[in-house]
């Protein structure tokens, strides 16, 4: 009898982790990799990260940002806090590859994300949605699934890492994101991560990550005009190039 995965990539045994339909990269945290399909962050798929109000999951994603900026551009869209770049640099992030967009509303933020993901030089796109909707998350997942990068270079990611942080109280009951995590503000030594949705059986116990808090990783957000910050400038609505 054929295996469940052989029948269709979206079918898997209820008691097993599914084979990932897209390549995965390590999260940088062995305890988290052990409970995720493919052993890490899925590329070319929307990853939803629910956080406390006025918090961002910097410690959770910092290893991936460090690796991602070695691959290409890291684009931050509508984050409520501004990165403290010297601290990020001290943690190994190539800050010369960091670009920030500060759209005026949720609609602009989703549109900017769709356009950004058409740029093959983008390796990581991190969007924050203060008021996420099921429709917006569907659009983001569709854009992430379409995104492709130049994978001819050895070790290059074939698709970008797409992160969407949302305030936990505003997180929708259902989401198109294949992976949904929830993290608390943490302590000085680490943080707790709950896996709310994955391609596999439910995970009832949270995952503890030993991640010391770097000093002052964030500053209050400042407005950056969208036309000055965009990594990819559209010539037409359907064609983009990176400058």
The secondary structure of the chain as a DSSP string is ---HHHH-TT---TTSPPPPSS-EE--S-HHHHTTSGGGSEETTSEEEEEE-TT---HHHHHHHHHHHHHHSEEEEES-SEEE-HHHHHHTT--GGGEEEE--SSHHHHHHHHHHHTT-TTEEEEEEE-SS--HHHHHHHHHHHHH------STT--SS-EEEEEEEGGG--SS-S-SEEEEE----SSEEEEEEEE-SSS---S-EEEE-PPPTT-EEE-----HHHH-SEEEEETTEEEE-
- Taking only the tens place, the pLDDT of each residue in 74-110 is 999 999 988 888 889 988 999 999 999 999 999 999 9
The bridge status of strand 73-77 relative to strand 98-101 is parallel
What is the set of domains in the chain, with CATH numbers? 21-214+222-228 (3.40.50.300)
Contact criterion met (CB below 8 Å) for 113 and 77: yes
When pLDDT is averaged across residues 139-158 and rounded to a whole number, the result is: 90
- Taking only the tens place, the pLDDT of each residue in 56-65 is 898 999 999 9
pTM as predicted = 0.83
Q: What values do phi and psi take at 27, rounded to 5?
A: -75, -20
Of the candidates 243, 224, 239, which has an alpha carbon nearest to the alpha carbon of residue 78?
224
Q: How confident is the model at residue 10 (pLDDT cuts 50, 70, 90)?
A: low
Which range among 42-51, 164-173, 180-189 shows the weakest confidence by mean pLDDT? 180-189
Contact criterion met (CB below 8 Å) for 109 and 77: yes
When pLDDT is averaged across residues 148-152 and rounded to a whole number, the result is: 82
- Taking only the tens place, the pLDDT of each residue in 11-37 is 555 555 667 778 999 999 999 999 999
């Amino acid at each position: 009898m054929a295996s469940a995965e052989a029948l269709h990539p979206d079918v898997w045994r209820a008691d097993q982790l599914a084979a990932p339909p897209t390549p995965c990269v390590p999260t940088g945290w062995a305890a988290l990799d052990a409970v995720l399909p493919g052993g890490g962050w899925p590329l070319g798929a929307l990853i939803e990260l629910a956080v406390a109000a006025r918090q961002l999951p910097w410690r959770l994603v910092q290893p991936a940002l460090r690796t991602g900026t070695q691959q290409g551009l890291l684009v931050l869209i509508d984050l409520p806090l501004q990165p403290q770049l010297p601290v990020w640099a001290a943690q190994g992030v190539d800050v010369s590859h960091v670009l920030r967009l500060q759209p005026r509303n949720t609609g602009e933020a989703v549109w900017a994300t769709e356009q950004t993901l058409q740029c093959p030089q983008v390796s990581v796109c991190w969007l924050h949605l203060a008021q996420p909707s099921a429709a917006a998350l569907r659009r983001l997942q569709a854009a992430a699934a379409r995104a492709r990068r130049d994978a001819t270079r050895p070790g290059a990611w074939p698709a970008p890492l797409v992160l969407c942080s949302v305030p936990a109280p505003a997180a929708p009951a259902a989401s198109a994101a294949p992976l949904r995590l929830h993290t608390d503000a943490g302590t000085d030594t680490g943080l707790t991560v709950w896996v709310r949705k994955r391609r596999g059986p439910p995970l009832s116990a949270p995952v503890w990550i030993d991640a010391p808090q770097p000093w002052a990783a964030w500053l209050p957000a400042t407005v950056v005009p969208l036309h000055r910050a965009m990594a990819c400038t559209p010539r037409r609505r359907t064609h983009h190039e990176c400058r």
